[in-house]
Amino acid sequence: MNEKTTIYDIAKALNVTAATVSRALNNNPKISAATRKLVMETAAKMNYKQNKLALALKSGKSNNVGVVVPYIDRNFFSAIIRGIEEELYPLGYHVIICQTHEQESAEIDNINALLNAQVDGILMSVSKLSTQTSHFEHVLNKNVPLVFFDRKKDVKGVSTVTIDDYQAGYNATKHLIEQGCSKIAHLSGDWALEIYKNRYKGYKQALLDNGITFNKDYVIKTKSDIKAGHKSVEKLMTLETPPDAIFSSSDYVALGAIQQLKKMGVKIPDDFCVIGFSNEPFTKFMELSMSTVDQLPVEMGKMSAKVFLEQVKESNVKIEKKVVLAPNLKIRATSTKK
C-alpha cells in the first residue's frame, strides 16, 4: 500500500499523462487550475514523494555535496561539518561525509567516489600527508566546485576559507609577551601545511616587533599529540636557558606540555605561561583552563558553504575566492599572571 508512488501512478489514476502531472506538481503556469488542484490532491492522497534520484539524473544536479576531512570525530572538524550542514540543509542540499585518516590514498579514493556519486561540489581540508595536486585538478576539470577549508594546497581555481594563522600566531605571542614572558618557545607542526608555517611566522614577527631576539632552539616541530608535548618540554627544559612560555600550534601538544611542566614542578602561570591552538572543548574544562586560539569552526563551515554556493550560482564564471577569517584569542588561566 505504501509502495513508492510515481507520477505515472498518479497519471493513470487521473487518466492524464505523466507530463501533465509533472507540470502540475511543479506549478507550471501552462496547467489549468482545475487539473493542478486535482493532481495535487491525488498526489497527497497517494502519498507521492518525488524521487530525487531521477531528478538528479535528469538535471545533472544531485543536490549532494561531499565533505572530506581527516577524522570526523575531532571537534574542530565535526564543528565545521555542523556549520556546513546548517547552511546547506535549508537549501535542499545533503552532506556526504568521508574521512581520510590523513592518508593521501584515501583522499584520492574519496574524491573519486564523490565524483562518481555526482556531487555538486566538494568541500575539504587536505590531509597532512598529501603531496600531489592532480586529484584536485581532476575535480576542477569535471567542473565541480572545490573549496578548501583550514588546510589548503595551492591549486589554481580552488577557493579557500581559512583563518589568519599569521595573525593568530602574532596575537598569541604578543599576549605572552604582555604577560611578561620573554623566552617564548613555539611548538609547531609540519611546515608542508601552510597553517603551521604561518603561525610560526606570526610568532617570529611578534618577537621581533617587541625587541626579543629569535632563538631557533625554542622552535620544535612535533606531531599533534599529548606525548609530543611531554617530549618537547623535556627537551626545552634541558636547554641552557629554558623558556618561560610556550605557544603551541596544537591544544593536545599544549596539554602534554602542561602535564610535563607540572610533573617537573614548574608553576603555571606564575613561572611559565602556555597557550594552545584550536579551542578544543577540553581546554575550557581543565582545572587550570587553557588559553588557546579559537578558529571559529562553525563559522568556517558556514563560510565554506557560502563560498560553494556562490560558485554554483555563477557556474559560468570561474571564481577563486580566498576568505580569511579573524582568529579569536581565548585568554584563560594558563597564561594569566596575577
Partner DNA sequence: TTAATTTTTGTAATCGATTGCACGAATCTA
Partner DNA sequence: TAGATTCGTGCAATCGATTACAAAAATTAA
Which positions touch its own copies (CB under 8 A)? Answer: 1-4, 49-54, 56-57, 62-64, 71-73, 75, 78-79, 81-82, 85-86, 89, 92, 94-99, 112-118, 138, 141-142, 255, 280-282, 285-288, 298
For residues 148 and 161, the answer to whether their CB atoms sit within 8 Å is yes
Question: Where does this chain touch DNA (CB under 7 A) — which range of 5-13, 155-163, 283-291, 311-319?
Answer: 5-13
**Between 25 and 323, CB nearer to DNA:** 25
Q: Count how many Cα atoms sit within 13 Å of the Cα of residue 260 in the half-sphere of its side chain.
A: 20
**Between 114 and 206, CB nearer to its own copies:** 114
Residues 9-68 that bind DNA (CB under 7 A): 15-20, 22-23, 25-26, 29-35, 48-51, 53-55, 57-60
- List the single partner that 134 binds among DNA, its own copies, none, CB under 5 to 8 Å by kind: none
Strands 146-149 and 121-124: parallel
Please give the Cα distance from 333 to 268 (Å, whole number): 9
For the chain, report the end-to-end CA distance as a whole number of angstroms.
Answer: 72
The nearest distance, CB 79 to DNA, in angstroms, is: 35
**In a 3-state reduction of DSSP, which class is residue 240?**
coil
Please give the Cα distance from 108 to 196 (Å, whole number): 23
The nearest distance, CB 147 to its own copies, in angstroms, is: 17
**Between 31 and 258, CB nearer to its own copies:** 258
- List the single partner that 79 binds among its own copies, DNA, none, CB under 5 to 8 Å by kind: its own copies
**Between 3 and 240, CB nearer to DNA:** 3
DSSP 238: T
**Between 50 and 132, CB nearer to DNA:** 50
Please give the Cα distance from 53 to 278 (Å, whole number): 39
176 is written with which cell numbers?
605572552
The nearest distance, CB 47 to DNA, in angstroms, is: 12
3-state helix, strand, coil in the chain (%, to 5): 45, 15, 40
